[in-house]
Amino acid sequence: MEISQHRNGIREIVRSWRAQGETVALVPTMGALHAGHMALVARAGELADRVVVWIFVNPAQFGDPADLAAYPRAPERDLAMLRAAGVDAAFMPEAGEIYPDGDETIVETTRLANILHGQVRPGHFRGVTTVVAKFFNIIRPDFAIFGEKDYQQLQVIRKMVRDLFMDVEIVSVETVRDDDGLALSSRNIRLSPQDRRAALVLFRALERAGEMACSGTTVEALRTALSAMIGAEPRARLRGIDIVRAETLAPLSGPLTGPAAVLLSAEFGGVLLIDQKVVSP
Ligand code: PAF
């Protein structure tokens, strides 16, 4: 596996593959890899001749410096996992390589970035779209693979690619869960055993949402039921329940008549977790 920390280095590697007519799939990550990331890597390998994984804890998407400092980092372990999975190249730049002195350009989806999770974490999605646009320009992949767990992020990136005519196909992969249902996340290792158990309430609430949608419900009844379930878990600090149109993330009300994305966020012992499910009547 080739490892590069520099824009020009990874560009050269990708150029040499392209010169042989090979296609490239990119898996964006912030490291601390787990089975969820490896599912993205596996999908990338099915789609393209070459797989590049980027590992970059992007400062621009963290509002709170303490959250950035606490973000788990395990580069050696990450590289071992990527080697074992047969990844062709890892791109691990320093922040100065991506945000050089004098850098001032940002990319923002003005509506989608500032609703829902974007209201809870102002500037977060602007940081994501800006870094993703930069990496797309550096690597120019044919495919880029994102997890459905970060559902709003996925829609924001699809919108950016559509609006800016970017020549890359965005491919999504279903959320990978532990056996008990907890969505895999790099943040999970910061949960105490009690908070990890408590966090299962998010999965249970989403299962309940699926059942209620199937048997017919209103958005209001669904929200009340989910709020009561999560509210009954003393270790959970509910941050958001959003029930929105699956593609546009536009608000919904009244009887549920089509596919809706149920987006949950809650803190457990100060660790913010998100989970999602698309439910249909
Ligand atoms: O989903 C993530 O890990 C990050 O938001 C991403 C897409 C790698 C951008 O930093």
Cβ of 274 closer than 6 Å to ligand 1, yes or no, is no
- Residue ranges in the chain modelled with pLDDT below 50: none
37 tagged catalytic = yes
Residue 28's DSSP bridge partners are 54
Residue nearest to atom 3 of ligand 1 (CA): 29
Residue 57 Cα to ligand 1 middle (Å): 8
From ligand 1's centre to the CA of 131, what distance in Å? Answer: 8
Tokens 């797989």 sit on residue: 51
* The pLDDT value given to residue 117: 86
From 29, 53, 160, mutation site for ligand 1 pocket: most ligand atoms within 8 A of C-beta: 29
**Ligand 1 neighbourhood includes 217 CB (under 6 angstroms):** no
Kindly report the CATH number that applies to the domain delimited by 2-173. Answer: 3.40.50.620
Atom number, ligand 1, closest to the C-alpha of residue 150: 1
Question: 71 C-alpha to center of ligand 1: Å?
Answer: 12
Say how many Å lie between the CA of residue 127 and the centre of ligand 1: 9
**pLDDT, tens digit, 9 for 90 and up, residues 67-77:** 899 999 999 99
CA-to-CA separations, 48 to 26, 28, 113, in angstroms, rounded = 9, 15, 30
Ligand 1 in reach of 195 Cβ (< 6 A): no
What CA–CA distances, in Å, run from 8 to 59, 132, 137, 147, 271? 21, 17, 12, 27, 36
Residue 279 Cβ contacting ligand 1 at under 6 Å: no
Any ligand 1 atom below 6 A from CB of 128: yes
Pocket perturbation via mutation, ligand 1, pick of 26, 27, 30 by most ligand atoms within 8 A of CB = 30
58 CA to middle of ligand 1, Å? 8
Query: What pLDDT shows up at residue 247?
Result: 85
Q: What is the pLDDT of residue 153?
A: 97
Half-sphere exposure at residue 78, Cβ-oriented, CA atoms within 13 angstroms = 23
pTM assigned to the model: 0.91
Catalytic residue among 34, 37, 117, 124: 37
Smallest Cα–Cα separation from 110: which of 156, 64, 63, 170? 156
How do the domains of the chain map onto residue ranges? Answer: 2-173, 186-279
CATH for the stretch 186-279: 3.30.1300.10
CA gap 43, 87 in Å, rounded: 12
HEC-encoded secondary structure of the chain = CEEECCHHHHHHHHHHHHHCCCCEEEEEECCCCCHHHHHHHHHHHHHCCEEEEEECCCHHHCCCHHHHHHCCCCHHHHHHHHHHCCCCEEECCCHHHHCCCCCCCCCCCCCHHHCCHHHHCCCHHHHHHHHHHHHHHHHCCCEEEEECCCHHHHHHHHHHHHHCCCCCEEEEECCCECCCCCECCHHHHHCCHHHHHHHHHHHHHHHHHHHHHHHCCEHHHHHHHHHHHHHCCCCEEEEEEEEEECCCCCECCCECCCCEEEEEEEEECCEEEEEEEEECC
